[in-house]
Structure 1
Amino acid sequence: AAGAVAARHLSRIDSSNVCIIGAGTQAKLQLTALNLVRPIKCANIWARNFEKASLVAEELSRKLGFQVQASNNISEAVKSADIVVTTTPSTEPILKADWLHPGLHITAMGADQHTKNELDPQCLKLADLYVADSISQTVKQGELRAALDAKIISSDENFPELGKIINKKEKGRSSPKDITIVDLTGTGAQDTAIATYALKKAIEQGAGEIFHN
């Protein structure tokens, strides 16, 4: 849900080509959610395991009704994309800074621990806009943490949080040519909101089961 919300507010409105890095459950969920907020026409999935990426691509093509294919060339998949979503547990950068191009939006989801890092720290330096779900978290366990450790980004710099952009308290994308990055480490507020919504729908539909201690 957070990835789709971020894309709605930060990616170009005409974004139609997606690159998903990773082939796990998150990869499937993120592409499915993106299809709800942008006019997606095609997608490439790259993973270290090409066979797994192929199976996921085939499944998503059937489910979503547009072309999804596995890619064995990550740089070309990124360079052709309007939106890139990283969903891996990598501890070393996968997405290189020299693959970035004007108009690209990146949603980085994998760095939810201080040992994880999917983006070349130089990506943050090249971006026109970096957005965190929670600055207090991304300085410790996000892509921002890696850029700070590499001294590519100054600790004095101020970055907006996604919630403030959604509420129009901070400025988001200002040009179709902007390169934007959102760093999603996961917040308790997001989890609570999703759980509350799920409970509300379950009660309305008489679904689910109540367990008593």
Structure 2
Amino acid sequence: MLLLSEDQTRHALPFPALIDALEEIFRSGCVMPTRHHHDMEMSGEPDATMLLMPAWVPGEYAGVKVVNVMPGNSARGLPAVAAQYLLSSAKTGEMLALIDGGELTARRTAAASALAAKYLAREDAGHLLIVGTGRLAPNLVAAHMAVRPIKQVTIWGRSKEKAADLARHVGATYPVSVTVAGHLEDVLGKADIISAATLSNEPLIKGALVKPGAHVDLVGAFKPSMRESDDDLVQRADLYVDTRDGCLVEGGDVVQPLQAGVIRAEDVKADLYDLCRGTHPGRQSDDAVTFFKSVGAALEDLAGAMLAYKTASK
């Protein structure tokens, strides 16, 4: 059985190829049972979450990801997400690969955001605002650069030290101009793409401050109790999601305004299935504000695992 470390998984999943792989699996589909979602009580810190995410392409590949999300790890200097992915043959049942789930998750999540931006962000989007400084942040920069001509990156985080460290890393790695924002409200109206990846329970992205034509990418807030955007944004923007089944149940940025009667389920214009299959054209005008909410889906992990296995086996 192939064993892929974090570094090996990263090298096996270049963003252009990974974005293409996600687009193909959203277009062709696979079997994806409802994922198991379990809260794990923690003493003296926020509750943790265990996720079990199976999916398979009949007769080809099957896989399952086991994820532990530990918000308290930030105080320990550890990543918030720990995960592994087991890929098998869906024809023989043979175990084919054990893939680093944290790196797979980070890269497929960023790639899904970039896939959405391919359909929803303006073609000339050049200024990217990253909200959050965790593991996803540098991946979101690289992924969006694969689909849009990003020349300027602004970074905001609650920790100024972490934001500065991330800015140095991005500036040393990519051919972009990088700045650190002192106050989020000062930069929300300047960015062409706003990509938020936080564990916030309170809205950070204020719709009244977002400029016309901007694309807002909401990656965090994966539980109904969490939220990164306010009601002004969901009322103003054209709403899109990665999967309707997931976001209408789990994504707080959609669930909370739904429960409050601010929006209706029919206000969600399309998901990635619709966009990738051409049943919805995506962005409707240069001035539209587009809103994309993702909570992740097992077919994204399966697509990434299949790509990593095939790449590493060459």
1:94 aligns with 2:200: no
TM-score, normalised relative to structure 2: 0.63
Partner of 2:312: 202
Alignment check: 8 A CA contact 1:19 1:81 kept? yes
- The C-alpha deviation readout for 1:151-182, integer Å capped at 9, x for no partner, is 21124545311221122111310111111011
More strand by share: 2
* Structure-2 separation of matches of 1:118 and 1:105: 14
TM-score, normalised relative to structure 1: 0.92
* Structure-2 separation of matches of 1:185 and 1:68: 28
Partner of 1:188: 298
Partner of 1:141: 250
Larger radius of gyration: 2
- The C-alpha deviation readout for 1:52-102, integer Å capped at 9, x for no partner, is 101101110010021112111212221110000000000111111211221
Q: What code does the residue aligned with 1:192 have?
A: L
Give the secondary structure class of the aligned counterpart of 2:270: coil
Give the secondary structure class of the aligned counterpart of 1:182: strand
Aligned length: 203
Partner of 2:164: 54
Partner of 2:239: 130
Alignment check: 8 A CA contact 1:58 1:69 kept? no
Partner of 1:113: 223
Give the secondary structure class of the aligned counterpart of 2:304: helix
**CA separation of 1:158 and 1:102: change in aligned 2, threshold 3 A:** closer
- The C-alpha deviation readout for 1:154-211, integer Å capped at 9, x for no partner, is 245453112211221113101111110111100011111111111110111xxxxxxx
Post-superposition, which runs of at least 4 consecutive aligned residues in structure 1 deviate over 6 A?
A: none
* Structure-2 separation of matches of 1:42 and 1:90: 25
Q: Which runs of 5+ in 1 are unaligned?
A: 205-213
User: Percent of aligned pairs with the same residue?
Assistant: 29
Per the TM alignment, residue 18 of structure 1 is displaced from its structure 2 partner at its CA by 0.7
**CA separation of 1:95 and 1:36: change in aligned 2, threshold 3 A:** same
